[in-house]
Amino acid sequence: MSSCSQKLVLDNGVTSLDDGALLTVSGVGFDYQSIPVLDNVDLSVNRGEFVALVGPSGCGKSTLLNLISGLLPPSTGSISANGIVDSPGRLGNVSYMQQRDLLLPWRTISENCQLGLELRNISADTSKALVQELAKSFGLSDVLEYMPSQLSGGMRQRAALMRTVLPDNHVLLLDEPFGALDAITRNVLQKWLLSVLTRTDKAVLLVTHDVEEAILLADRVVIMASDPGRIVAEVDVRLVGSNIESSFTSPAFVELRKNILALLERRGVSS
């Protein structure tokens, strides 16, 4: 059966800044109108690693992604993504998929996916060819000429992810990509995402409030608490040799889920 290595690193014990880290967040704080939203956040994601960030609503998970993407500058501390420390400089160099698909209703799916390449002035022929190639693994080949309004929520979400990953940046941020989907579609897409990203050399950071999703998809789960948002624990959740179908019921999965929920709850009560 599956074995699992489990390691809890509490509070400020996160110090892994090894050479493999594509994304490094160190001592980052963020104040909004002099109210602290994030406090002293340390986080690193290595090449080829998938990290999930879980925490209660309003703990600043999305704010952290906005800081990493370069949309906002941190109030304190520093962020380095693929070696870029300057906040505006990270715009366009960190792939960021927001919660809503944000597909432009007047563009076909293909044109929507080409957007990132188009903004880099890559020729339409080249970007269209790239979209057609990638569409195969995204299951979107047949709907590339459709308008977004003709697609289901799950398909739209895939298209949004394809638009996000096409510029081929090394750091990929996902903000609850399946949050608005029904349970069945969500499950299908989780499996699919795992198969798409499993052989990637990107550093992936996923924000979710779904603990099962975090365990299923990630190599490591980072737990946040709120007021102000901070990292309180890290759990290694690599389920070695397991397949997805049996994961949900495997003893290791259940154990991990229990531990993470306990960590989230403990923080919730104490704060």
Partner 1 sequence: MRLIHNYMWQAVKNWYPAILTFAVLIVVWELCVWFLEIQRWLLPPPTIIFQELIDSIGLLTRHAGITVVEIIMGFAVSLMIGVALASGIVWSRAMERSVYPIIIASQTIPIFTLAPLLIIWVGTDIMSKVIVVVLFTFFPLVVSLVTGLRSVDSESVDMFRTLGATNAQIFRKLMIPTALPNFFAGMKVAAVVSVIGAVIGEWVGASGGLGWLMKLSGPQFQTARVFAAIVVLSVVAITLFAVIVAIEKWSLRKYPSTLNQAKNLGE
Q: Give me the residues that bind partner 1 (CB under 8 A), please.
A: 66, 69-71, 91-96, 98, 100, 102, 104-108, 115-116, 118-120, 147-150, 163, 167
CA dihedral 85, 90, 96, 100 (to 10 degrees): 120
Q: Which is nearer to partner 1, 148 or 154 (CB)?
A: 148
Give me the residue label for tokens 């919730």: 268
Q: Which is nearer to partner 1, 114 or 259 (CB)?
A: 114
Residue 144 CB, nearest distance to partner 1 (Å)?
A: 14
Strand duo 171-175 + 94-97: pairing: parallel
Residue 143 CB, nearest distance to partner 1 (Å)?
A: 13
Residue 102 CB, nearest distance to partner 1 (Å)?
A: 5
Q: Which is nearer to partner 1, 61 or 220 (CB)?
A: 61
Residue 2 CB, nearest distance to partner 1 (Å)?
A: 36
Helix (H, G, I), strand (E, B) or coil at 41: strand
Q: Which is nearer to partner 1, 87 or 250 (CB)?
A: 87
Q: Which is nearer to partner 1, 73 or 251 (CB)?
A: 73
Residue 147 CB, nearest distance to partner 1 (Å)?
A: 6
Q: Is 19 exposed, middle or buried (0-12, 13-18, 19+ CB in 10 A)?
A: exposed
Q: Which is nearer to partner 1, 94 or 225 (CB)?
A: 94
Residue 10 CB, nearest distance to partner 1 (Å)?
A: 32
Q: Which is nearer to partner 1, 113 or 264 (CB)?
A: 113
Strand duo 203-208 + 50-54: pairing: parallel
Cα(35)–Cα(229) distance, rounded to whole angstroms?
11
**Helices 183-197 and 153-165, packing angle to 10 deg:** 20
Residue 228: asked if its preceding bond is cis (omega within 30°), the reply is yes
Answer positive or negative: Cα dihedral of 91, 46, 112, 209.
negative
Cα(81)–Cα(62) distance, rounded to whole angstroms?
17
Residue 162 CB, nearest distance to partner 1 (Å)?
A: 13
Q: Are 228 and 38 in contact (CB under 8 A)?
A: yes
